[in-house]
Structure 1
Amino acid sequence: MPKLTFLTGAVLVVVGIGGYLVSLANETDHWTALIPSLVGLLLLVSGAIALKNLMVGVHIALVLALIGALGMLMPLASLGDLFAGEAERPAAVVSALISLIVLVVYLILGVRSFLEARRWKKANA
């Protein structure tokens, strides 16, 4: 899980920086485009914690991923406008969608990992 946490964090940092660069290119300069990068940086820190204490670090990462995924829902209210070509900030919607997908996949894999660890622990007890 620590490797997956690092990978997820790195992907989110890239998504956030990419979204910010697009907002700069469109001369809108929205700092909120960096929110996926902030979540990604926090995941990278929790991944480092997981290297020292696996259970604590991964639990922190999963809570952060859940909060981040919930935070990505608000920009997705404009998803219909994006498909209609009428979105005010299409890059923000795309960035939020990518971030949400990455975070939900990470959450699913993390929960699955905990369930497998619990089954393994019961089988070997």
Structure 2
Amino acid sequence: MVRFTTALGIALVVLGVGAYVLTSAVSVTALIPAFVGVPLLVCAAVARSASRRRAALAVAVAIAVLGALGSSMNAFRIGEAIAGTAQRPSAVWVSAIMFVLLVAYVVVGVRALLRSRSAPAA
């Protein structure tokens, strides 16, 4: 799960920086995926310690839930972006990608946390 958290954090930072650069650095809001990815990378770094792993991953899942909720507003406008009627189509696409990545992470993360809770202590 630590590797997945690291990979997701890197993917979100790349997505945010890429969106910022591709939109000609017009708005700092294009960096929102990076603003979610950096705390996930911090959680992944903390989770490398076995004694702090579960707590760090729980915080990472909480950050992912908040990020998914925040990106859902634009993500559900994907139909407008496909039809070409969205006011900011790049924001809709970035939000949709971020939403899908974070929801997948939340599902996998919750399952991993529940599995670790039911596992016998070593």
TM-score of the aligned structures, taking structure 2 as reference length: 0.90
Unaligned runs of 5+ in 2: none
The answer (yes or no) to whether the contact 2:10–2:41 under 8 Å persists in 1 is yes
Residue 64 of structure 2 aligns with which residue? 65
> Which residue identity is paired with 2:11?
V
The one of 28, 40, 45 equivalent to 1:31 is 28
Q: CA RMSD in A?
A: 1.6
Residue 94 of structure 1 aligns with which residue? 93
Q: Deviations over 1:48-92 (max 9, x none)?
A: 111121011101101100000000012224322112111111111
Higher-helix-fraction structure: 1
The answer (yes or no) to whether the contact 1:75–1:96 under 8 Å persists in 2 is yes
Name the count of aligned residue pairs. Answer: 120
The one of 30, 37, 40 equivalent to 1:40 is 37
The answer (yes or no) to whether the contact 1:51–1:57 under 8 Å persists in 2 is no
TM-score of the aligned structures, taking structure 1 as reference length: 0.88
Helix, strand or coil: the match of 1:92?
helix
Structure 1 runs (4+) deviating above 3 angstroms are none
State the 1:99 CA deviation. 0.6
